[in-house]
Amino acid sequence: MPPTEAWILVDADTGAVLQSHDDRTPLPPASLTKVITALAASNLAPDASVTITSPAAAEPLDDLGVRTGQVWTADELFHAMLIYSANDAAMALAQATALTEQAAGASASIESVLGQTAQDLGLQDHPVLQDPAGLDGTEGVDGGNRVSARDLAIAGRALLDDPYLASIVALKTYKFQSPTGGHVTLVSHNLSFLSSYPGAVGIKTGYTNLAGTCVMAAARRDGRTMLAVVLHSANPTVAASQLLDSGFATPLASESPSDQLPPVDLAALRPTAAVGVSTGARADQSPAGPSPTTAPVAQADIAAAGTHQPKSFGMLTLDGIVALLLVVATVARLRSEQRRRQAVAPNLWFVDSAPLSAGGGAGVRVGADGSAEAAPSAEAAASAETAASAETAASAETAASAEAAASALGES
């Protein structure tokens, strides 16, 4: 297995822990936090309206490019958060959940909502949950979160038990129309695992400088579902794939009953409908609306009204600084193209916010037709890099070589 700080392998059906290493130590989970945020917001109906606040609009990249005062549906934000790892979507959902609980008479903050969710899920290793997007360091709320691999596995198992949320994390891409009439195409940051591992069903990647590259990965074969959580790994997709292989090779009869995750109880997460929230389609049915697509594509493009400036680029590595210089040049070209297109269609804008989250390099590509395409972020690039290694490497040494080669190209 590639060098990895902590991991756990669980039979998601039985809850049996099959393998683990340092799985009880709370560590920075990066965007794996969004699995917990999704569960915290699971009392929101997909067709519920969510008004974007200034803190949500100010979230750093990766983001959906929402603007203060816009109204999005919870369904759109759930997809953006879990597929594209949009930080602004995570903050918007967390704030909407806190507001609906306040409307119901509870004294609720984002921190208390996440804390109550941890308690309802039965998390066991004293998690610290303060940032719904999983940011840490200077960008995170009060320094960010600390969650053990075991607690993340508990949350991941619960998400897989929710048909609505589970259907989202299994998607490779998703298209919909934004509230401003723009067309949005979300491409999964977990595309590498979903495309390369037989039986893959999701669920989430994560990356910050502090957390390193992380993944929560699940697969289903022959009626069995395995779940792996890998934190701060040199090659998380390879590590997770090896763990899942080991899980499927373990006969059900040989699983030890001595180490079990707590039972999943989704009813504890949403005992009553939140006040002011639509009671539309929920866990057992998909909401009406745009049909998702699972065709593999290389990068996400977002076309909507307005541009979104992150509050901070934060924690840039040398590769990220070089990429930022490239962004400056390409954004200048993009703006020139925008001015030309506005002369023809004054109401048409393009979001030109290319992913630059936590230490990674990315840029904006302008297509021949003037469309803006966001190149993969640090999180997505790390996921793609490990997928290439998963296809060609059977050892940590080979995976490390692939990572070094990608880094030399400025993609890590």
Tokens standing for 371?
A: 């469309």
Determine which one of 20, 31, 353, 377 is catalytic: 31
Q: Give 44-101 as a DSSP string.
A: S-TT-EEEPPHHHHTPPSS-----TT-EEEHHHHHHHHHHS--HHHHHHHHHHHHHHH
Q: What Å distances lie between residue 35 and 42, 153, 157, 162, 364, CA to CA?
A: 11, 10, 10, 12, 28
**Can 241 be counted among the known catalytic residues?**
no
Determine which one of 20, 34, 178, 188 is catalytic: 34
Tokens standing for 365?
A: 């590509």
**Can 31 be counted among the known catalytic residues?**
yes
CB neighbourhood size of 397 (10 A): 9
Tokens standing for 268?
A: 């504890």
Q: CA–CA separation, 363 vs 116, rounded Å?
A: 38
**Can 377 be counted among the known catalytic residues?**
no
Q: Are 226 and 13 in contact (CB under 8 A)?
A: no
Determine which one of 20, 42, 54, 85 is catalytic: 85
Q: Give 124-156 as a DSSP string.
A: -S--B---TT---TTTSGGG--BB-HHHHHHHH
Give the angle 110-141-170 at the CA atoms, nearest 5°.
70
> Kind of pairing, strands 224-233 and 173-177?
unpaired
Phi-psi region of 47 (alpha: psi -120 to 50; beta: other; left: phi over 0): alpha
Catalytic residue positions, numbered: 31, 34, 85
